[in-house]
Amino acid sequence: MSQSESQPLSPISETLQRVTGELRKVTQRLEKVDDAVGKMVFESAGGGGRTFHDLQDLDRAKQEVAGIARFLERLAHDMPAEWVADSRTASLMIDLQELATSLARSEARENACARTDGDDCEMFV
């Protein structure tokens, strides 16, 4: 069995779309945390300047994750269909099983190669 048969490849544009979706989920979680922490700070008597600075950092992190998602989504639209990668092997670097599974999903290698003459896919193995 060749390396290309043992490791299913998926179009990079699809992988970027999956990453974008996961980043949007993180943004939604950050929004919930931001709201909850904000309520706790305003309800407590000892807010202080440092706490507000930390809240601003949380809001900035939320905006950064959302911005990265939009950036990757745009890159995905411009990615040639014949560019493929092994997202399954890359997902093994992720400790969270649900996230790793979501990012590893891929079409069969034949689907990616069907959009080209087939030979182009070999250079990415």
- Confidence (pLDDT) at 46: 61
> What is the model's pTM?
0.69
- Confidence (pLDDT) at 73: 95
DSSP string, 19-57: HHHHHHHHHHHHHHHHHHHHHHHHHSS--HHHHHHHHHH
The answer to whether 3 and 124 have CB atoms below 8 angstroms apart is: no
- Confidence (pLDDT) at 51: 72
- Confidence (pLDDT) at 56: 85
Identity of residue 59 = D
Q: Identify the three-state secondary structure at position 83.
A: coil
The answer to whether 32 and 107 have CB atoms below 8 angstroms apart is: no
Give pLDDT tens digits for 67-114. 999 999 999 999 999 999 999 999 999 999 999 999 998 643 334 444
Confidence of residue 45 (pLDDT cuts 50, 70, 90): low
- Confidence (pLDDT) at 32: 92
Quick check: 5 pLDDT over 80? no
Top pLDDT among 51 and 39 is at 39
